[in-house]
Copies of this chain bind each other. A is one copy, B any other.
Amino acid sequence: MPLIFKSILLFDDYTICMEPLKLQMLEPKEKVGLIVVITGNGKGKTSSAMGMALRAVGHHMRVCIIEFMKGDMYSGELDGIKRLAPEVELHLTGKGFCGIMGNPYPYKEHRANAQDAIKLAKEKMLLGQFDMLILDEINNALKLKLVDLPQVLDVIDNKPLLMHLILTGRDAHPEVIQRAHTVSEVNEIKHAYRQGIEPQKGIDY
């Protein structure tokens, strides 16, 4: 049972008090490799997946992240995630969001990239070396027909038993939702850009 001094906080000498804090350690009777879908139109889907990668690393788990749409713009997590190497590897295969935000690439190129990505996902998964596979924005890629439903279901249905599989992106397909253990829908209540505020470092990218 790990012993942490209360409010030490992990690397700070600030203390509210110094009574030792015993952290209870959970251990499920049965280990299950979960299928988790994070969908919806609100902010926080990729962030949530990145947070799960961070949490997994704390347990010495190995994580593979494949970005289906992103890959044309810099975002802080690209460097942040390097701090989690070698347990976490990140693959950028996208060319930005197909058909929006002035994205200059033709559909065919987006489709070719997403096809590479889904092949990579299956290869990585079948290596059996990862405890968690994150397919970021795969739901959008499916909605936009950059990958096909049978391809996505093939990955889900062939998942190693104990590997967690995270699928993010808006417009998750009902058959993907049906196969998942946990599904969250992140809904936008408000977003800074609707107030004319440009994307900000650390929050939006």
Closest to A191 in B: B182
Closest to A31 in B: B200
- Interfacial chain B residues near A131, Cβ < 8 Å: 202
Chain B min CB distance to A74 (Å): 4
**A73–B201 contact, CB under 8 A?**
no
With A and B bound together, what is the CA distance between A48 and B36 in angstroms?
14
Q: Which of the listed residues A188, A190, A195 has the most CB atoms from chain B within 10 Å of its own CB? A: A190
A144 lies within 8 A of chain B by Cβ: no
Q: How many monomers of this chain does the complex have?
A: 2
**A92–B56 contact, CB under 8 A?**
no
- Interfacial chain B residues near A12, Cβ < 8 Å: 89, 91
With A and B bound together, what is the CA distance between A22 and B14 in angstroms?
43
Per-position 1/0 for A8-31, Cβ under 8 A of B? 111110101000010111101111
- Interfacial chain B residues near A201, Cβ < 8 Å: 26, 28, 31, 56, 59, 61
- Interfacial chain B residues near A56, Cβ < 8 Å: 76, 80, 201-202
- Interfacial chain B residues near A85, Cβ < 8 Å: 10-11
**B11–A164 contact, CB under 8 A?**
no
- Interfacial chain B residues near A205, Cβ < 8 Å: 26, 55
23 sampled A-B residue pairs with Cβ under 8 A: A4-B78, A7-B116, A10-B85, A10-B92, A11-B86, A11-B89, A14-B91, A23-B72, A24-B72, A25-B73, A30-B198, A32-B192, A47-B50, A54-B77, A54-B80, A55-B75, A55-B77, A55-B203, A59-B79, A59-B202, A181-B192, A182-B190, A183-B189
A interface residues, Cβ below 8 angstroms from B: 1-2, 4, 6-12, 14, 16, 21, 23-26, 28-34, 36-40, 42-59, 61, 71-86, 89-93, 116, 120, 131-132, 164, 177, 180-192, 195, 197-203, 205
A7-B91, A10-B92, A11-B82 given; 9 more Cβ-contact pairs under 8 Å: A2-B74, A4-B78, A7-B120, A10-B81, A50-B54, A51-B54, A54-B84, A182-B192, A184-B189
